[in-house]
Amino acid sequence: MDTSTSSPINKEKIQSISKLFKVISDPTRLSILFLLQKKELSVGNIVLALDMEQSAISHQLKILKDSHLVKARREGKSMVYSLDDLHVFSILEQVLTHINELEQ
């Protein structure tokens, strides 16, 4: 095997990186992340902000939670969501910078 052309990152890490990009590539999930960047919100507040059905928002929140990007806590009868990992915004800021450069 030619080591000069092999990836410096193992296949499992490549798969993990790909999975993260798949999770954050969905417009609804991105919108939820940006909403939660400002403050924690209940499912109902996210539904109102995005004007979507609660079942659709809950489905997206489960994907974000399973990916350790958001966390939930119970407050009375409601679930309140907040960001679990701020590192994702470093990635998103770099993408925004790249997009802004392309638009100039």
Q: What's the confidence (pLDDT) of residue 89?
A: 85
DSSP 36-50: HHH--EEHHHHHHHH
- Structural domain including 83 reads 16-103
Q: Is residue 5 part of a domain?
A: no
Could you report the per-residue pLDDT of 59-84, keeping only the tens digit for each?
A: 999 999 999 999 999 999 889 999 99
Q: Is residue 3 part of a domain?
A: no
How many domains, the chain? Answer: 1
DSSP run (H or E) holding 101: helix 87-103
Q: Is residue 42 part of a domain?
A: yes
pLDDT band at 23 (very low <50, low <70, confident <90, very high): very high
CA quadruple 82, 32, 90, 7: dihedral positive or negative?
Answer: positive
Q: What's the confidence (pLDDT) of residue 49?
A: 97
pTM: 0.84
Q: Is residue 21 part of a domain?
A: yes
Report the relative pairing of strands 41-42 and 70-75 from DSSP bridges: unpaired
Q: Is residue 9 part of a domain?
A: no
Q: Is residue 11 part of a domain?
A: no
Q: Is residue 73 part of a domain?
A: yes
